[in-house]
Amino acid sequence: MSKLKAMLIFGTRPEAIKMAPVVKECLSRPDELETIVCLTGQHREMLQQVTDYFDIQADIDLKLMSPNQTLAGLTARCIQGLDEVLEQHKPDCVVAQGDTTTVMASSLVAFYRRIPLVHVEAGLRTGNMLAPWPEEMNRRVTGLIASLHCAPTERSAANLLSERVDPDTVHVTGNTVIDALLWAVDRERANDVQWREKYASLRDHRMVLITGHRRENFGQGFNDICESIRQLSERYPRVEFVYPVHLNPNVQGPVHDILGKCTNVHLVAPAPYPEFVWLMDRSAIILTDSGGVQEEAPTLKKPILVMRETTERPEAMDAGAVELVGTSIERIVGRVSALLDDPVEYAHHQIEKNPYGDGLAAQRIVDLMLKQEWQK
């Protein structure tokens, strides 16, 4: 049997983190797989940080990012660039992850070329096309096209089956983000001295880690998030609030305007992946609108308050680790305060088993790729 020629495509930092274990697993099987790594460059510096950390060498880099890019412009460049790449390399399958513009464009181009698509982290749904936006649309398009759906959980698989996806193409694999996290957290705990020196200003105080950058929160919702943090910083002067601030001007503006003078709010540059893993591990509470953090933090037994009205990742919420607080000042301040003040309430948000995975997802995904009929 000839080798399976697989092209793995990704373009953002979250995709790179979740695809890194799959890339590593593919490269560990050179007798069975010819692996081609293609970057779209939807993100630039943030993507490079992750590929360097995991020692991933790109075979193709489209470098599509441009200043002030629109979604339509990015999508058009992505489709055109990927179509040329598939024409040149003619892979047996395309592997893409998640819900970005890159994965949506990859799925369309693979469909046009009649090349099977493997969707890593398939089946997540909120049921609301505008939240998260545009990710919900991206993942639904990909769900229509994929030939192999690697669902992280049983609920994600059930979402696909309810949409009449062929059951033979749907498999529960766990989420590769846990594979990456377990590898990274061991490495960064060994580098603890380096990070404690960098964050010496935290002293031995409790720390709340904050991430916030979702488009649907821009405007009043984002102003309210920042005002909530300001009020919390005043209420808890011996708690440190660390906020790696996204580079988007819609984030930078209100964050610095509202929080810039708060002495126990540390506004730092976007943290490279290893540093962010250490910050998650060091934190007491995580306040976020990120999808990936909802999956990672339960492994570290951290309570997660999600500043969104819906989540496509309900499993950790059902398990008790995650709670939706939206962008309401009253709700955010109230729930963070409860977790800081009440040890019993805090303990209720720490769970023993992460519903998103056990660290073996990439192995299962590659095993499935090699068993497909289109591989023969």
pLDDT at res. 180: 96
pLDDT at 361 over 80: yes
CA angle in degrees (0–180, nearest 5) for 4-24-84: 55
pLDDT at 313 over 90: no
pLDDT at 97 over 90: yes
pLDDT at res. 217: 63
pLDDT band per the 50, 70, 90 thresholds, residue 68: confident
> For the sheet containing 239-244, what is the strand order?
265-268, 239-244, 206-211, 285-288, 304-306, 322-324
- Of residues 111, 104, 119, 134, the one with CA closest to residue 40: 104
Q: Which residues are catalytic?
A: 99, 121, 135, 213, 215, 246
* β 206-211/170-172 pair status: unpaired
CB 311 within 8 A of CB 292: no
pLDDT at 74 over 70: yes
Intrachain domains 4-174+360-375 and 191-348 with the same fold: yes
- Of residues 329, 321, 149, the one with CA closest to residue 223: 329
Largest CA distance in the chain: 66
CATH number attached to the domain at 191-348: 3.40.50.2000
d(CA 245, CA 271): 9
Selected residue with higher pLDDT from 81 and 248:
81
Selected residue with higher pLDDT from 182 and 291:
182
pLDDT at res. 291: 79
pLDDT band per the 50, 70, 90 thresholds, residue 203: very high
CB 22 within 8 A of CB 52: no
Tokens 């998030």 -> residue? 225
CB 230 within 8 A of CB 262: yes
Overall average pLDDT of the 85-97 stretch: 97
Backbone angles phi, psi at 146, to 5 degrees: -60, 145
Selected residue with higher pLDDT from 133 and 284:
284
Overall average pLDDT of the 210-216 stretch: 75
Buried b (16+ CB within 10 A) or exposed e, 68-84: eeeeeebbebbbebbbe
Sign of CA dihedral 231, 237, 238, 241: positive
The type of residue at 39 is L
Residues of the chain above pLDDT 70, percent: 97
pLDDT at res. 1: 61
Overall average pLDDT of the 140-161 stretch: 97
Q: Name the residue ranges covered by the structural domains of the chain.
A: 4-174+360-375, 191-348
pLDDT at res. 214: 66
Per DSSP, the residues of 229-281 read: HHHHHHH-TTEEEEEE--S-HHHHHHHHHHHTT-TTEEEEPPPPHHHHHHHHH
pLDDT at res. 45: 67
pLDDT at 228 over 60: yes
Structure token pair of residue 365: 């995904």
Overall average pLDDT of the 106-134 stretch: 94
C-alpha dist (Å) from residue 103 to 9, 145, 264, 272, 337? 8, 11, 39, 22, 38
pLDDT band per the 50, 70, 90 thresholds, residue 44: low
pLDDT band per the 50, 70, 90 thresholds, residue 27: very high
pLDDT at res. 210: 95
CB 313 within 8 A of CB 195: no
Average pLDDT of every residue of the chain:
92
CATH superfamily for 4-174+360-375 is Glycogen Phosphorylase B; (3.40.50.2000)
pLDDT at res. 375: 60
